[in-house]
Amino acid sequence: MSEINVYEVVKKLVGEINPVGETNTDKRRFENLKVMIDLVDELLLDISDMGFRYRNNYQDSMKKASNSANNFLDNVSRTYKKEQ
């Protein structure tokens, strides 16, 4: 049996987001897109909070988590600035 990852679970729960040019389908998919955007926004806020909260912590595991979160956010920022 194949393993299903979190991404695939979310896609199944939210539904398709790509428009197809049919009004009723596209309305439903646009609502799905808004759900996906809200989810990503919440996840990014969680990651940002984690990066900020533990940035000066002396415990290695907390500092490592903070650094990882901040590096991820820096990479996201650089990636999407290039595409604009």
* Residue 9: inside a domain: no
Q: What is the pLDDT of residues 40-83, one digit of tens each?
A: 999 999 999 999 999 899 899 999 999 999 999 999 999 888 76
Q: What is the DSSP string of 24-41?
A: HHHHHHHHHHHHHHHHHH
Query: What's the number of domains the chain is made of?
Result: 1
Tell me how far CA of residue 31 lies from CA of 2, 19, 35, in angstroms: 30, 11, 6
Report if residue 2 sits inside a domain.
Answer: no
Domain extent at residue 45: 15-82
**For residue 54, is it within any domain?**
yes
Q: Is residue 10 situated within a structural domain?
A: no
Q: What is the pTM of this model?
A: 0.82
Q: Is position 32 within any domain?
A: yes
Whether pLDDT at 1 is above 60: no
Is 21 part of any domain?
Answer: yes
Q: What is the pLDDT of residues 4-39, one digit of tens each?
A: 799 999 999 999 999 999 999 999 999 999 999 999
Burial of 69 (0-12, 13-18, 19+ CB in 10 A): buried
Q: Is residue 3 part of a domain?
A: no
